[in-house]
Amino acid sequence: MKNGENKGVFQSISPEEIPGNTIRTIGRDWMLVTAGTKEKFNTMTASWGGIGHLWNKPVAFIFIRPQRYTFGFLEEQETFTLSFFGGQYREALTVCGTLSGRDVNKVERAGLTPHYTENGNVAFEEATLVLECKKLYADFFHKESFIDADIVRLDYPEEDFHKVYIAEIVNVWEKK
């Protein structure tokens, strides 16, 4: 399939029905984290994150460095989306993971079509799976809390620690 050939209809499913192995889906296939409003939003590629169960809720967690343009949108909004794509969108995700929305219209450059949820969040028509998430908890990693100092040395030479966002998964849509 080429870009634009996966514009079927989204069907609501429960978080328990989320398909696939998320270590593979997030770590290998990547996702787009999108925050903002119909009028002004930004999206970026992420390959670090997870899906699980916490505080008796289905949750997603993402890790965002403060220098990302998307970071400001995540801070401002209570909600965000995670969009997952078929392999034919690898190039689109590479665009969204290497260029900044500060400099270019990444959505246009990546050939993606915004999809607006009823709650006013933004995802993408080309996605095969969309999670709508409501923030529950957020904090930066703290240097003194790392048990394995190699992680600080290797991943944070500039000490630009990620902020962790843990969010309730409030809606899930899948395209069969």
Ligand X SMILES: Cc1cc2nc3c(=O)[nH]c(=O)nc-3n(C[C@H](O)[C@H](O)[C@H](O)COP(=O)(O)O)c2cc1C
Contact pick of 6, 13, 48, 77 for ligand X (by CB under 6 A): 48
CA within 13 Å, CB half, 150: 1
SS3 152: helix
CA within 13 Å, CB half, 137: 9
Please, which residue, 13 or 99, has the CB nearer to ligand X?
A: 99
CA within 13 Å, CB half, 36: 18
| Among 9-17, 43-51, 122-130, 134-142, the segment contacting ligand X (CB under 6 A) | 43-51
Which tokens sit at 18? Answer: 């989320």
Terminal CA-CA length for the chain: 15
| Among 7-15, 63-71, 108-116, 132-140, the segment contacting ligand X (CB under 6 A) | 63-71
Under rule CB under 6 A, residue 165 binds ligand X: no
As measured in angstroms, the least distance from the Cβ of 9 to ligand X is: 28
Please, which residue, 10 or 74, has the CB nearer to ligand X?
A: 74
Give residues in contact with ligand X (CB under 6 A).
Answer: 30, 42, 44-48, 63-65, 68-70, 97-102
